[in-house]
Chain A
C-alpha cells in the first residue's frame, strides 16, 4: 500500500494521559499536514512540515500539542495531558510541493478521551 498510513486507527485514553500518533506519508512527498476534525466540521489545520522543517502551526493549537518529523519521512503528533475536548479524528495528509497539487489523506486516528 503506497498511500498515507496512520497508526493507531483508534485510541481510547483517560483524561490526563499523553498520546502519540504516527503518520507515514507517501514516500516522495515533501509536505506533511496534520488536521483535526470533529463531527459536522471541516478538517481544522494543526500544523504542517516541509521535509523536516515545521513551517506553520495553528495559533489555536495548545502548547499541549507537539509534532515532529525528524528525518523528513514519518511524523508524530503528541498530545500531552489529554482533555475531553481533544476527542476528535486526527488526519494526516501529504503532498508534493507543486502548486495546485493534490493532498492525499490517511484514514485518520480517532481519539476518544474518557
Chain B
C-alpha cells in the first residue's frame, strides 16, 4: 500500500461546480496533514493545513478522519483559477516529532467555462 493515495483524476468540472478530493494514508503515527496546490510547471504551494476538527478557508473545506486515515478537500463554487493539481501531504513521524513530508501523486483539476 502506498503511503499516501489520492483519487487518480483528472477532474473536469464546469465553473460553479462543487468538487471533492479524497486521500488516504497508511501511517497511523502521522502528525500533520496538508493540501498543497501545484500549478503547471511551478513549485507546490500550501493551500491549507488539515486539522482534526475540520477547517474551512473561504470556498475550501478540509476534513481529517484519523480513525479511517482519510483526508478530504471540498471546493465549492469552483473558479477557472482553481485549475491545478492538488497534492495531499502527510508528515512522517521521526522520534515523536514531525518528520518528512510525504506527497500523494496529486489529482488534477480542470475547471471549464
List the interface of chain A (C-beta within 8 A of B). 33, 35, 40-45, 48, 55-56, 91, 93, 97, 99-103, 105-108
Q: Does B43 contact A (CB under 8 A)?
A: yes
Per-residue A-contact encoding for B43-54, CB less than 8 Å = 1, 0 else:
111100101000
Q: Find A48's partner among B46, B100, B105 (CB 8 Å cutoff).
A: B100
Pairwise interchain contact A42-B106, C-beta atoms closer than 8 A: yes
Q: How far is the CA of A43 from the CA of B3 in the complex (A)?
A: 13
Interface size class of B (residues with CB under 8 A): 20 to 34
6 residue pairs, one from A and one from B, having the closest CB atoms = A42-B103, A105-B43, A102-B46, A43-B103, A42-B105, A42-B106
- Using CB atoms, name the residue of chain B closest to A43: B103
Contacts A42-B87, A99-B98 supplied; 8 other A-B pairs, CB < 8 Å: A40-B105, A42-B106, A45-B101, A48-B99, A55-B100, A56-B100, A100-B49, A105-B44
Pairwise interchain contact B98-A97, C-beta atoms closer than 8 A: yes
Q: Does B75 contact A (CB under 8 A)?
A: no
For A33, A41, A105, A108, which residue has the most chain B Cβ atoms within 10 angstroms?
A105
Pairwise interchain contact A93-B98, C-beta atoms closer than 8 A: no
Q: Does B61 contact A (CB under 8 A)?
A: no
Q: Does B102 contact A (CB under 8 A)?
A: yes
Pairwise interchain contact B98-A55, C-beta atoms closer than 8 A: no
Do A56 and B92 contact each other (CB < 8 Å), given the known contacts A41-B105, A93-B101, A99-B31?
yes
